[in-house]
Structure 1
Amino acid sequence: MKMRKGPEHPCQLARLANRAGVLAGVSLASIHASSPSSHSLNLGFHLTELAIPGASLDLKIENVARNNIDKILSRWPGDKTVYLPPFDFVRPDHEQFPAKLAMEFNERDTPRRLYCAEPEARVHWGRLNEPDDY
């Protein structure tokens, strides 16, 4: 099988993206319910779809995985992490952000576009250019 060099073969990347999307849509319960041979076949398809574009770019899956792990670990705080005080700690309590900020993301579909509304009890996101009701 002849490998093409470089990203001029986008259909392989599209197959990889499609396969990843299909996998993301499969529930854990259905994976557990499937047979071991089905697991092996499915994993083989995913590894093949991942290895082909990687090989065409002279990348080894092992190196890509190791580099990603190194990158993730480099961004994780170490044992001697020093946490700075919150930027608004000198402000009155009612002007400070809460220590924990729970977010709820709700997709809203309109005829023209899909957008996300983020309601939160104390902070009104996305309304900075609109007057508040108080």
Structure 2
Amino acid sequence: MINKKCISLSALLIVLVSILLITGCFEPDAYLKEVILNNHVPANIHFDENVYILTDEEVLENQLGNKVGRIKVVNVISYTEGDDPYLHVSFGKVYNLIDIEDAIGIEVNEKVLKAIRKDG
């Protein structure tokens, strides 16, 4: 009787893990919108038909809203190896900002920096 219980619990655990894997529960950010970052200086971010310019102003944690995208870097400028300002930069998620208009948050090297919407 104990062996049947162990087998039943093991089978149930396998089914539950399989469901989680199939539904993508282990990768909740997999469905975020791809946001293009051009490697200009300063960086240009193309999001929701607007262009944003990356600043060096850090966003506070309490200013972060929802994750709305993930950065994809597009190299539009060719830099020589020693001159590439993005060589050791890691970009991540894009966030809405709370109570801050015309700006979004961009994850850069484990910080979130403000990107301000460019007019016109």
TM-score grouping bracket, smaller chain normalisation: under 0.3
TM-score (norm 1): 0.21
Larger Rg, first or second structure (1 or 2): 1
The structure with the largest strand share of the pair is 2
Higher relative contact order (CA 8 A, sep 6+): 2
